[in-house]
Every structure is written in C-alpha cells, then in structure tokens.
Structure 1
C-alpha cells in the first residue's frame, strides 16, 4: 500500500498552506506525500511565515506558490483547506477537511508574534493528522 497523500490549500499558497506542508514534512517524514497549492497563488512565500518555520527546524527555501493541479488533486487522499476563504471544487477520491485556523490579527496581534501563533495552531493540527494517518 502506498503512503497517504495530503494537499494543503489556501488562497495565495504563500503562508498557511506552505506552513502546513513544511510542518507535515517534518512531522511525517517519508510516511506521507505532502503538497501545497493556492486557489489564487501569489508571487512568493510570506517571509514571516518562512522565518517562524526556521525557528522550529523547517526550511522553505526553494518553495514557491503553486496553483492547484487537477491531476494531483484527483490522486490525493486528503485535501485540507486552511481558512474559509480557500475553496476547492471537489473531485471524487479525496477526503476534504477545512481547518479554520487561529487568526491572531482579529485580536490585534500582528507581525512575527501573529505568525508564531498561526504556526503553532497549524503545527498542533498537523501533529494530530500525522498521528491519525499512522494509525
């Protein structure tokens, strides 16, 4: 049996989905095939997102925002959207989940502190999913 596969999706594919993919790669290693994409990809990875990942041993060097590849989408086991703004037209096959991630800016928390809170929220969800996929 092949390893489970996960596609993380957000709108720009520059922040949350890149964070989730990087954290999943760290948590699951080669046990899970991991991808990220955006519904309207931006031009670069968010620098603060990348910086907070380096703090926990995840390097996004070489990553860039990507659109959703329909062929990739159809062969995924899980498609996880991060936030309500990202919507994916479902295809048969994957299990679809939405993670309404913590949004500290709603509480007036900005900058690197905001990104650390977002990272930690996503990391906890990734760890839970990794454990479930290994069972």
Structure 2
C-alpha cells in the first residue's frame, strides 16, 4: 500500500505551510508523502521561516511556493490548512483539517522570535499527525 499523502496549505505557501511540510518530512521520513501549496502562492519563501527551520535541522531553502490546485487536493489523503485565512474546499471527499496556529505578532512578538514560536507550535501538531499516520 502506498504511503499516505499529506498536503499542507496556507495563503502564500512561503511560510507556515512550507514549515509544516519540512517538519513533517523530518518527523515522518519516508512513511508519508508530503507536499505544500498556497491559495494565492507568493513569489518566495519567508526568510525567517527558512532560518528558524534551519535551527532545528530542516532545510527548505530549495523549495518554491506552489499554487494550490484541485489536482493537488484530489491526490492528498489529508489536507491540513494552517490558519483561517486560507480557504480550501474538499475535492472528491478529501478530508480537510484546519489548524489554528499561534500568531505571536498579536502579542507584539516579531522577527525571528515570532517565527520560532510559530515553528514550535506547528512542530507539536506535526508530531501528533505523524503519530496518527504511523500507527
């Protein structure tokens, strides 16, 4: 049986969804196929996202934002939307989960400190998801 396919989605696919995909690859290895996309894909990755992941041994520097398509949703066994800003409609019954991620900027926390908190919040959720798919 092929490994499960998880698609992480945010708006620009330059930060949170890329972080989740990188962290899932680290947590699950080859046990899960991972992809990410954006509902309005941007032009590049968030440099602080890249930096904060490098601190924990995850390199996403070669990734590029990708536009969400129905085919990507259809190919996934699970779509995980990070935050409420991105809206994803299920395609052919593909389940969609929405993760309300921490947003430290609402508390006045910015820069790399903000991104580390976002990374750590996503990492906890990703580890739980990896456990769900490995059992």
TM-based fold match above 0.5: yes
Secondary structure at the aligned position of 2:17 is classed as helix
Runs of 5+ consecutive residues of structure 1 not aligned to the other structure: none
Q: Separation in 2 of the partners of 1:100 and 1:77? A: 20
Secondary structure at the aligned position of 1:85 is classed as coil
Matching of residue 119 in structure 1 with residue 110 in structure 2:
no
Per-residue CA deviation, residues 3-56 of structure 1 (Å, 9 max, x unaligned), is: 011000000000000000000001000100000000001100000000000000
Report runs of 4+ in structure 1 exceeding 2 Å deviation.
Answer: none
Matching of residue 9 in structure 1 with residue 9 in structure 2:
yes
Secondary structure at the aligned position of 1:116 is classed as helix
Secondary structure at the aligned position of 2:96 is classed as strand
1:4 and 1:133 in contact (8 A); partners too: yes
CA displacement at 1:95 relative to structure 2: 1.5
CA displacement at 1:61 relative to structure 2: 2.0
Aligned alpha-carbon RMSD (Å) = 0.7
Matching of residue 40 in structure 1 with residue 61 in structure 2:
no
TM-score, length-scaled by structure 1: 0.97
Q: Separation in 2 of the partners of 1:26 and 1:93? A: 28
Q: Separation in 2 of the partners of 1:104 and 1:53? A: 17
Q: Separation in 1 of the partners of 2:108 and 2:34? A: 32
TM-score, length-scaled by structure 2: 0.97
Q: Which residue of 2 aligns with 1:76?
A: 76
Aligned length: 135
Q: Which residue of 1 aligns with 2:60?
A: 60
Q: Separation in 1 of the partners of 2:66 and 2:102? A: 23
